[in-house]
Structure 1
Amino acid sequence: MPRLLHLADLHLGWRPRDLDDARANSRRARRDALLEHAVDTALAEHVDAVVIAGDLFETFDPDGALVERTLLQLERLRDAGVHVVGVPGNHDELTYPTSVYRSLVERWPGLLVTSPTPTKVGTLDVHGEPLHVYGLAYVGGVTDVRTATRDLPAPAGDGTHIFVAHGTLMAPGVSSAASERSLPLDRDALAAAGYDYVALGHVHAPAIHRLGATLAVYPGCVGGKGLDDLGSRHWTIVDLERGSADVREVAAPVQPLRHVTLDVTAMAGRQAIDDAIASLADEAALVRVRLVGALPTTLDLAALTERARGDFFHLEIRDETTAVSEALLDAWAAVPTVRGSFVRRMRRRLDTAADDAERARITRALLHGIDALQERV
């Protein structure tokens, strides 16, 4: 039973543009170290092969020092008897004359998919049993994306059979991707081919698709590239048998990226909002806080962010609150609507409140009610 570590979209060498130099360099170094962690995981999990389904690098022409560090890690696998299978992606594309993979053909410590059309790449020996590898690499001007994955080599012979590609698995009834560099993959053809496993890259969100009896898997971008790309946060381990594949996750040591929503309606003033954000503090994390609800005044978002910034590696605050001023309440109260009736009733309760504590409770109830009614008017 072959065991695989399925990787894709590591994007080694990527550097964020929205951070200062020190933090951007720190982010890059931490993400670039993920390959070493992946190799450590492969060895600890006793995998037989590591399959890298494209975009190992952020660019087709990464700096030489990064390439050498990458090769050292891949050679650790080879030296431990672990097979290495790779295919170029759309960031580190094979198309260009200076593509890193053109210079690595002779140095790649395993099987490297370079054929612009689907083909059998080779056969690996796994404990005396054959593991057959098929795939293709998109090459601009050569790969005909209209037909590239409609005519696939049929699995033949004993052992297990995997197909490797970096592209977009098309939805049923859809035949073309937004860009040919995204390499549209025909799901019906892949299902009909009958591979034991289809190892894909390109889609950063992890996903498992069943194509007939075959699993087609995107492991995702393990270490997300930002707050709009949170990453999978796990490695994908696959145990293969003829006709079946078992997929499981192993946690990866990635830098935390988080989305948090805070309803500030019941919060009494600026300090309460500051305290709520401070409770999320994590100097290692990149965090996006979305503020929702209703407030009696507008927020000074820049000042709020500045006060909290030091508690995070990176902090982004989005203000989606509704500012409910007295003038706005007057306007709503004057209109014969559900909201207007609610405002008039709550104002009468405010007028008869026994003390400040009761007035504060009624005010919070008013704001909660306004927030709940926002989508109904």
Structure 2
Amino acid sequence: MRILHTSDWHIGRTFHGHSTDAHLSEVLAALADAVREHGVDAVVVAGDVFDSSTPKAEAFTMLNAAVRAIRDAGATVILTSGNHDGPARLGHMAEFAAFGGVHVMADLARLATPVTLEDAHGEVHLYGIPYVHPEFLRAAYEDFDGTTHGDALAFAMGLIRDDAAARGGRFIVASHCFAGRAGEAPGETTELSGRAEERDISRGGLNLVDLSVFDGPDYVALGHIHSHQTLSERVRYSGAPLRFSFGEISSDKIAWLVDLDASGLAAVERLALPTPRRAVRLEGTLEELLSPDAHADATEAWVEAILTDDQLPRDAMRALQGRFPYAVTLTHRPAHRADHGDAGYAERVEGRTDLEIVDEFLGFVRNGAALSADERGLVTDALAALESAEAAR
């Protein structure tokens, strides 16, 4: 059996105020093409289908089109709810959608109720864990008394393992969470998919879940982190299908093709996704960035500009957008502000006169503009008056 693992579609999300709908539609259409090309049996979307708990009508229209295309290509669809989704809205009409091969798993009371598919080797049970806040889980299960997201997922996985053992056969779990290896500390770096990812104890309001919670399934399809990551051979994040921030520039966008044989997980393969518009970060003076020979390949990309001019040029963003129509953010970082490096304040002012300190401070806040002769005289007089007042005390 072949599963396509994707997540975090975030339908309805904007990129710095610009709609991503057209780009996302292109990528979701590519997923449907991949289902047909690669003989995919089921597509698993591990949470955050929508970007909002109250999506607009256009978001439902896009979801319907994507799901219809995947079904037409021949795959069953399994959707779980994430922390961005409203489970009631996402799960509306779920019972009826299931008759058409679209299974929306957003009901905490049905954690141990899988979608069961069959291949030449027997049954494969697919369990979806909707976003499982401890308070929500306590309301659904009287015997749950945990307080963390890890507690909640451990409880959910216990139910699933018991059910899977009773049914027999292979099983897959989809979950939307922030997972990591045992003993991983906040801020520690871990090599995931060949790159260093700095970890905080919480991402998007979700507490860190120990990887051991997911022991048992043949494959675990995770959502919530927007870059693809391999936590173990059978536990992976697919990442989001689009770049939703400049922090994701270095991460290529993929889905995972997961193959099961008679004994369980057989192989996992990357499926590269199209990039409707690249995201780039350009740094330099405005003159350098607008040079005719510079950054010709960025004219159709989302652009984050970091200007290093001593003073911010007038109408800098308008000038940038004349060359880069999709320039969406601008940061002013004058080169002289980096002169001090990591030196502390005491080290920087050591041996300087009060006048020199004032001159440097004003130069900093005024983008390098030093004191004029008249200003220097006023500051000198003020400092002298202050010294006299202190001496008279």
In 1, Cα distance between the equivalents of 2:300 and 2:21?
A: 14
Change (3 A) 1:275 1:217: same
Q: Please name the residue that 2:57 is paired with.
A: 64
Q: Please name the residue that 1:188 is paired with.
A: 212
In 1, Cα distance between the equivalents of 2:304 and 2:229?
A: 24
State whether structure 2 residue 90 is matched by structure 1 residue 100. yes
State whether structure 2 residue 214 is matched by structure 1 residue 221. no
Q: Please name the residue that 1:165 is paired with.
A: 175
Change (3 A) 1:147 1:311: same
Q: Please name the residue that 1:312 is paired with.
A: 324
The alignment covers a number of residue pairs equal to: 304
In 2, Cα distance between the equivalents of 1:49 and 1:125?
A: 11
SS at match of 1:225: coil
Change (3 A) 1:310 1:253: farther
Q: Deviations over 1:205-254 (max 9, x none)?
A: 211101xxx52111111201232444642232222333435332222222
Change (3 A) 1:208 1:280: same
Q: Please name the residue that 1:364 is paired with.
A: none
> Is contact 1:39–1:73 with CA below 8 Å preserved after alignment?
yes
In 2, Cα distance between the equivalents of 1:72 and 1:30?
A: 14
User: Once the 2 structures are TM-superposed, how far is the Cα of residue 288 of structure 1 from its aligned partner?
Assistant: 2.0
More deviation, 298-307/164-173: 298-307
Q: Please name the residue that 2:355 is paired with.
A: none
Change (3 A) 1:195 1:100: closer
User: Once the 2 structures are TM-superposed, how far is the Cα of residue 12 of structure 1 from its aligned partner?
Assistant: 1.0
Structure 2 unaligned runs (5+)?
Answer: 139-148, 186-199, 338-347, 353-393
In 2, Cα distance between the equivalents of 1:101 and 1:35?
A: 20
Question: Which amino acid in the other structure matches residue 279 of structure 1?
Answer: H
Q: Deviations over 1:255-295 (max 9, x none)?
A: 3333445567xxxxx74453278424534310224466xxx
Q: CA RMSD in A?
A: 3.5
Q: How does 1:230-245 map to 2 (within 5 A)?
A: 230=249, 232-241=252-261, 242-245=263-266
SS at match of 1:67: helix
Change (3 A) 1:263 1:15: closer
State whether structure 2 residue 137 is matched by structure 1 residue 143. yes
In 2, Cα distance between the equivalents of 1:195 and 1:44?
A: 27
In 1, Cα distance between the equivalents of 2:58 and 2:315?
A: 41
Q: Please name the residue that 1:360 is paired with.
A: none
SS at match of 1:12: coil
- TM-score relative to the length of structure 1: 0.68
In 2, Cα distance between the equivalents of 1:304 and 1:298?
A: 13
Q: Deviations over 1:175-212 (max 9, x none)?
A: 99648963754421212xx21110011111211101xx
User: Once the 2 structures are TM-superposed, how far is the Cα of residue 13 of structure 1 from its aligned partner?
Assistant: 1.5
Change (3 A) 1:272 1:136: closer
Question: Which amino acid in the other structure matches residue 238 of structure 1?
Answer: V
> Is contact 1:132–1:162 with CA below 8 Å preserved after alignment?
yes
SS at match of 1:106: helix
Question: Which amino acid in the other structure matches residue 217 of structure 1?
Answer: R
In 2, Cα distance between the equivalents of 1:149 and 1:277?
A: 54
Q: Deviations over 1:131-170 (max 9, x none)?
A: 1112321355332545322242324366432111111114
Change (3 A) 1:179 1:317: closer
SS at match of 2:153: coil
In 1, Cα distance between the equivalents of 2:205 and 2:266?
A: 28
Match of 1:119 among 89, 95, 112: 112
Match of 1:78 among 60, 65, 71: 71
> Is contact 2:178–2:202 with CA below 8 Å preserved after alignment?
no
In 1, Cα distance between the equivalents of 2:38 and 2:94?
A: 27
